[in-house]
Amino acid sequence: MASTMKAGVKALFGLAVLSLCGSALAQLRVEISGVGANQIPVAIANFADEGTGSQKISAIVREDLQRSGLFRILDAGTMSETMPVNYADWKARGADALAAGSVLRLVDGRLDVRYKLFDTIKGSQLSALNFADPASSARVVAHKIADDIFEKLTGSRGAFATRIAYVTKSGPEYRLEVADADGEGTAVALRSSEPIISPAWSPDGTRVAYVSFEAKKPVVYVQDLTSRRRTIVANFKGNNSAPAWSPDGRRLAVALSRDGGTHVFSVNTDGTGLQKLSDSNGIDTEPQYSPDGQSIYFTSDRSGGPQIYRMPAGGGAAQRVTFNGSYNITPRISPDGKTLAYISRRDGRFQLYSLDLASGQELRLSDTAKDESPSFSPNGKYLMYATESGRRGTLGVVSTDGRVRYKLTTQAGDVREPTWGPFMK
């Protein structure tokens, strides 16, 4: 895999630039290779009359839960949410929970989807949801039901109804694509004959910042995903790279070489209000705001080799955060601010690691050798990253405990630069 490491640190710290092979525009395919240690057995019934829709809601729910690695799915036949539940029977069949529902096509073309979740151990109803959405939103409804099951049975919010963005290339064309978290529902946000790198979601999920080389140099843009209107945020002399949103969505941290060296700056999303934040004799790049907006993590080689540092969001003295290994880059902070994910080069392998910021405990999360671009799921339970499989770029997903793994691949070509979107309102 030649590398797609972000503009700035990747070239500046000696990694080759990734060449994206051609690929056809296609949905991402899921390949599950690992599951959780203690799976929850849950029966998911076929929803009554779900054949009236173009997609079976229950099948999508099962796929979501299976992909998470935390559930063992049991067959439950066909059941509507109004049918009586024999809790003792389902408990005897090994199910801790049962989900059932129904689908009704309304006269205006919408689907009326109803669902209930039952606790077979306690013999009680856990949840009930109703949706009246366009038929085209069937997948979204299914993801929301899977999210509800995930939350009720694990205590953590599900992230199936979120979106991801990534970069692919087909022939001479680069594409910034957006898809559901399961790789379905692909849409092209931007096409270009020049490379696109470093996409980053806005906190409200309506915009994406990215770096495009269409001006024959790296320039930072922000694009509205609905209107497709975009704004140039950073087009200064030299390299403009590595955009990262502040938690309130008002500013971006970027890496600029406008003054000769590469340093971290912040700028309003309309390109005004530029402020220099870091100042060292080394290269400072790949900034990331902490979830509370009080700090910025970034990569710097000020100590001789690239390591991860933290400084106040308004600039100031920086403290080194990573000490294991001589090459640590691409910091990403978990939504709760407790865990740092990054790429570390050790024994010639670029792999995904995490660091518990309180205890200092480090965990290697990948078993591949050419990893890059990690991104936390909005619930903090999973990390998506770019890697290589069979000389092709793929997206890997791993749970933060390292036990659950799956990959998202295309039929042909490479896919790179993943970023996991926020929870949608």
* Per-residue model confidence as pLDDT tens digits over 336-352: 999 999 999 999 999 99
The more confidently predicted of residues 331 and 10 is 331
The model's pLDDT over 23-77, given as tens digits with 9 standing for 90+, comes to 344 567 777 776 766 899 999 999 999 987 667 999 999 999 999 999 999 989 9
Return all residues near 316 (Cβ < 8 A) that are at least 6 apart.
none
Q: Collapsing DSSP states into helix, strand and coil, what is residue 123?
A: coil
Of the three residues 154, 174, 197, the one that is the final residue of a domain is 154
Where do the H-state alpha helices sit in 158-217?
A: none
CATH number for position 277 = 2.120.10.30
Q: Do residues 108 and 240 both lie within one domain?
A: no
Give all strands (DSSP E) within 22-162, no chain letters: 29-34, 40-47, 71-79, 97-105, 110-119, 124-134
pLDDT of residue 412 exceeding 70, the answer is: no
Q: In this structure, are 203 and 322 located in the same domain?
A: yes
Residue 422 pLDDT exceeds 80: yes
28 domain residue, yes or no: no
pLDDT tens digit sequence for 85-143: 999 999 999 999 999 999 999 989 899 999 999 999 999 999 999 999 998 899 999 99
Which tokens hold the place of 27? 């949905």
Boundary-marking domain end, from 133, 154, 175 = 154
Assess whether pLDDT exceeds 80 at residue 15.
Answer: no
Residue 122 to residues 99, 203, 374, Cα–Cα distance (Å) = 15, 38, 40
Q: Are residues 333 and 281 in the same domain?
A: yes
Number of domains in the chain: 2
Residues 289 and 307 in one domain: yes
Please, what is the average pLDDT of the chain?
A: 90
Q: Tell me: do 205 and 295 sit in the same domain.
A: yes
376 belongs to a structural domain: yes
Residues 147 and 166 in one domain: no
In sequence order, which residues have a C-beta less than 8 Å from that of residue 166 and are 6 or more positions away? 176, 177, 179, 199, 386, 395, 415, 416, 417, 418, 419
pLDDT interval class at 22 (50, 70, 90):
very low
- Among 154, 182, 204, give the residue marking a domain's end: 154
**Integer distance in angstroms from the first to the last C-alpha of the chain?**
37
Q: Is the pLDDT of residue 10 over 70?
A: no
Residue 176: Cβ-neighbour burial (10 angstroms; 0-12, 13-18, 19+): buried
- Judgement on whether residues 243 and 366 belong to the same structural domain of the protein: yes
State the average pLDDT over residues 145-155: 98
CA distances from 333 to 61, 290, 361, 403 (A): 29, 6, 15, 20
Q: What is the CATH number of the domain that holds 105?
A: 3.40.50.10070
If asked whether residues 169 and 218 sit together in one domain, one would say yes
Residue 2 lies in a domain: no
Looking at this protein, which amino acid is placed at residue 18? L
Backbone angles phi, psi at 391, to 5 degrees: 65, 15
Which domain range does residue 58 map to?
Answer: 38-154
* Cα three-residue angle 164-166-170, rounded to 5 degrees: 140
CA–CA gap between residue 151 and residue 73 (Å, rounded): 16
Query: Do 262 and 118 fall into the same domain?
Result: no
